[in-house]
């Protein structure tokens, strides 16, 4: 009995603590996609549905879409370039063609600033109207003569088989002829198609339409793409073009940003239109002051 008591009093070695049992960890969709075969596609789809749709850029608007993680934020240089573009763009809308032509002739560098800003805006558009014009000409006879008014870098001339006269206020490359679009060097009734792609910008834009009428052959085609927000009433704009001496063939107002029209020359000589009425029909783009 004494031995048993001694054994009972003998100190026992301390018990080793048991490691805690691993607890299940909640995995998010991206982690599960790494472990579950075939789950990566559904995870990506779920992520896409949870993200809001990026807002589309309006014509002339300068901003960086939110859903572009790979793109850096605009630098001070970018903001300055955007501000200069908006300033020049507004000035073109509120000046006559001859005034704008004189501005760029006296300072050609401004034209480069303008078109660099313009190209930055084009990248944010859901569709480029120039591509629509190129597609239209692809189905037309190759012996047609085309005029691209306010051509910029003359992308139409570089994309179609027809002969294209490309006019703008500065000749930025060998395709372009510098001139005031109200007074081109072409002869009467010498071209088949005249294109205005976002280029009815001057306060005297009706004179551009009259010049298009002068150089078009009988039954020649006038193609116009313009910023929809400039038109308070598209029918009123159509009436202006009809008053010059055209008949409407078609109009496409489905795109929320750009309106497209096709007209045909219907009179032998262009008719004058009051500029006061025209200015109210096709309004200039004025930017908010920041």
In angstroms and rounded to an integer, the radius of gyration of the C-alpha atoms of the chain is 32
Confidence at residue 143, expressed as pLDDT on a 0 to 100 scale: 97
Q: What is the pLDDT of residue 56?
A: 52
Helices and strands, counts by H and E, the chain: 10, 7
Q: What is the pLDDT of residue 129?
A: 94
pLDDT of residue 153: 92
- Provide the pLDDT for residue 77: 58
pLDDT of residue 219: 95
Instruction: Report yes or no: 217 and 146 within 8 Å, Cβ to Cβ.
Output: no
Q: Identify whether the C-beta of residue 200 lies closer than 8 Å to the C-beta of residue 259.
A: no
Q: Return the bridge partners of 227, or none.
A: 258
**Apex 151 CA angle, 235 and 241, nearest 5:** 20
Residue 93, number of CB atoms within 10 A of its CB: 22
Give the phi and the psi of residue 262 in degrees, each rounded to 5: -135, 130
Which residues of the chain fall below pLDDT 70? 1-74, 76-82, 275-276, 286-290
Q: What is the pLDDT of residue 17?
A: 55
- b/e map of 136-175 (b: 16 or more CB within 10 Å)? bbeeeeeebbbbbbbbbbbbbbeebebebbbbbbbbbeeb
Per the CB < 8 A criterion, the answer to whether 202 and 100 are in contact is yes
| Per-residue confidence (pLDDT) for residue 222, from 0 to 100 | 98
Q: How far apart are CA 83 and CA 96, in angstroms?
A: 22
**What pLDDT does residue 155 have?**
96
Q: What angle do CA 78, 158, 95 make, to 5 degrees?
A: 55
Contact 153, 199 (CB under 8 A): no
CA 206 and chain centroid, separation: 24
Amino acid 27: pLDDT: 40
């Amino acid at each position: 009995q004494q031995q048993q008591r001694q054994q009972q009093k003998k100190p026992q070695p301390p018990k080793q603590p048991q490691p805690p049992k691993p607890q299940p960890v909640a995995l998010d969709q991206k982690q599960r996609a790494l472990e579950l075969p075939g789950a990566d596609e559904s995870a990506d789809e779920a992520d896409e549905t949870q993200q809001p749709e990026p807002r589309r850029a309006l014509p002339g608007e300068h901003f960086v879409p939110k859903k572009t993680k790979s793109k850096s934020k605009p630098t001070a240089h970018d903001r300055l370039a955007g501000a200069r573009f908006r300033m020049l763009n507004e000035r073109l809308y509120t000046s006559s063609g001859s005034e704008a032509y004189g501005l760029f002739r006296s300072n050609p560098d401004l034209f480069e600033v303008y078109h660099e800003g313009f190209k930055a805006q084009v990248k944010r558009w859901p569709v480029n109207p120039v591509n629509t014009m190129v597609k239209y000409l692809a189905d037309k006879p190759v012996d047609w003569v085309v005029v691209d008014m306010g051509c910029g870098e003359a992308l139409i001339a570089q994309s179609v088989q027809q002969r294209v006269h490309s006019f703008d206020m500065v000749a930025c490359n060998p395709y372009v002829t510098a001139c005031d679009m109200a007074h081109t060097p072409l002869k009467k009734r010498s071209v088949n198609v005249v294109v205005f792609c976002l280029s009815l910008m001057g306060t005297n834009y009706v004179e551009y339409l009259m010049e298009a009428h002068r150089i078009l052959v009988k039954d020649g085609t006038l193609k116009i793409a313009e910023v929809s927000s400039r038109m308070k009433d598209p029918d009123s704009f159509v009436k202006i073009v009809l008053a010059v001496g055209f008949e409407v063939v078609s109009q496409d107002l489905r795109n929320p940003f750009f309106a497209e029209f096709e007209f045909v020359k219907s009179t032998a000589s262009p008719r004058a239109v009051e500029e006061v009425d025209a200015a109210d029909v096709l309004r200039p783009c004025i930017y908010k002051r920041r």
